Amino acid sequence: MTTPVPPQLSGFTIGAFLGKGGMSTVWAARQHSLDREVALKVLDPSLSSDPEDVKRFVVEARMAAQLSHPNLVRVFDVANQGGQHFYIMEYARGYDAEKWLRRKGRIDPSETLAVAESIAVALEYAWAQVGLIHCDIKPANIMVDADGTVKLTDLGVARCLRGRHRAGDADATEITGTPAYMAPEQVTGATPLDCRTDMYSLGATLYHMVTGRRLFPGMPDEEVMEMQCTGQAPDAREFAPELSEAYAALLEKLLAKNPGYRPRTWYAALQDMRQVGRNQFPSGEAPPPGGSTMYRRKPEARLIDDSPPAPAAAPRRARRKRRRLSIRDLATLPRWAILLLAIAAFLAGFAIVLAILHFAR
């Protein structure tokens, strides 16, 4: 990817290029007035002439600025300089989960659960505060800060159900998001979106992190979106055999095609994640067969032999062997017994001698 031309903004020294989204570019910068490092999200110049795109960009910034949570990247201000629209954000030092995946190939299940809990806590807060749905949860939008704090970034396609972006708005009918992580209702618009839409995206993100594979890799975006609605991906344990049955059940539940089979609230989703961390199954009913985007391989049934056991053979009677008295046995006798035996032997010998003398006469 070619690095775009850095913006020229008064009051800022522009640093490294951090990334590009559908509407904007993100740059590291130093804000002169407060002498601090920040990130600047700059609206693409090709969109700055469209009042609707500018309005959407500003609404996004204002919505994000209402939120203050350690697991969300903060937005400080929104501004316009000479037709360049941008907003000023917290600069999170570290790396995103996509780079983490590229480095490791697959991420340990316990670490992915810790990441998922941090994201769920942040989204529970955002949903409670302003009814926010992120709509684009994916590894590239999950930052791990220098101190290990997990932060969710990029509210570029987020919708606020209690603000100006409601289900009836024209832009709410647009298909926005990243195909490999989009919920079926996000693709079709058949069901009103709510916090469970983000749960599906988080499930797709977890699948990617633990297996090293996106859902439906190698397909065009249109086919991927179709598969999100009608297809099934293999059990994650085919690529990560160390995953527990409980973890596979969590993925199956988060990736349920019908939102009714996903957790009802972020609190319930967090409880499920914590149970899996203790190797316990998620609560509630699992999706019906074919009702989840991930096919979960059930344990094979074991045949039980219920025939009666064969009767045991009668024990054989052991024969007693006669044992002769040995000198070693005499050595173990007490002294008085030895003395008696000696006297008996003497008397027996004396009697034999008398008998011989008697017959000799």
List, for residues 89-111, the tens digit of each pLDDT value.
999 888 999 999 999 999 999 99
| Whole-number Å distance between alpha carbons of 59 and 159 | 10
First to last CA, the chain: 137
The answer to whether 246 and 280 are in contact (CB under 8 A) is yes
Burial class of residue 247 (count of CB atoms within 10 Å of its CB; 0-12, 13-18, 19+): buried
Average pLDDT, the chain: 85
201 against 177, higher pLDDT: 201
- How far apart CA 158 and CA 152 sit, in angstroms, is 12
Single out the catalytic residue among 44, 50, 77, 136: 136
pLDDT confidence of residue 172: 46
Question: Which tens digits make up the pLDDT trace of 239-286?
Answer: 999 999 999 999 999 999 999 999 999 999 999 999 999 999 999 889
**Neighbouring residues of 290: CB distance < 8 A, sequence distance ≥ 6:** 232
Q: In this prediction, what percent of the chain has a pLDDT beyond 90?
A: 54
Residue 163, pLDDT score: 41
Distances (CA, A) of 237 to 71, 109, 221, 278, 293: 29, 11, 25, 18, 14
Question: Is residue 160 classed exposed, middle or buried when 0-12, 13-18 and 19+ CB atoms within 10 A define those classes?
Answer: buried
C-alpha dihedral sign at 21, 24, 29, 35: negative
Is the pLDDT at 294 greater than 90? The verdict is yes
Domains of the chain: 12-90 (3.30.200.20), 94-277 (1.10.510.10)
Residue 302 has pLDDT above 80, yes or no: no
pLDDT of residue 355: 74
Q: Has 147 been annotated as catalytic?
A: no
**Whole-angstrom distance, CA of residue 294 vs CA of residue 301:** 21
Separation CA 282–CA 206 (nearest Å)? 15
Lowest-pLDDT choice from 175-189, 218-232, 313-327 = 313-327
**∠ CA 189-190-195, rounded to 5°:** 70
Q: At which residue do the structure tokens 């999950």 appear? A: 142
Tokens of residue 8, six digits: 């020229």
- H helix or E strand, kind and range, residue 195: helix 195-211
Dist. CA 25–CA 63, nearest whole Å: 19
Phi, psi of 201 (to 5 degrees): -60, -35
Is it the case that residue 19 has pLDDT exceeding 90? no
Helix (H) or strand (E) holding 74: none
Q: Which of 84, 37, 32 minimizes the C-alpha distance to 57?
A: 84
Q: What is the pLDDT of residue 254?
A: 98
Segment 40-82, tens digit of pLDDT: 999 888 888 888 888 888 888 888 888 899 999 988 999 999 8
Q: What's residue 64's pLDDT?
A: 84
The SS3 assignment for 204 reads helix
- pLDDT per residue as tens digits for the range 157-166: 566 554 433 3
Write out the two tokens for 140: 């590239």
Q: CA-CA distance, 26 to 18, in Å (whole number)?
A: 5
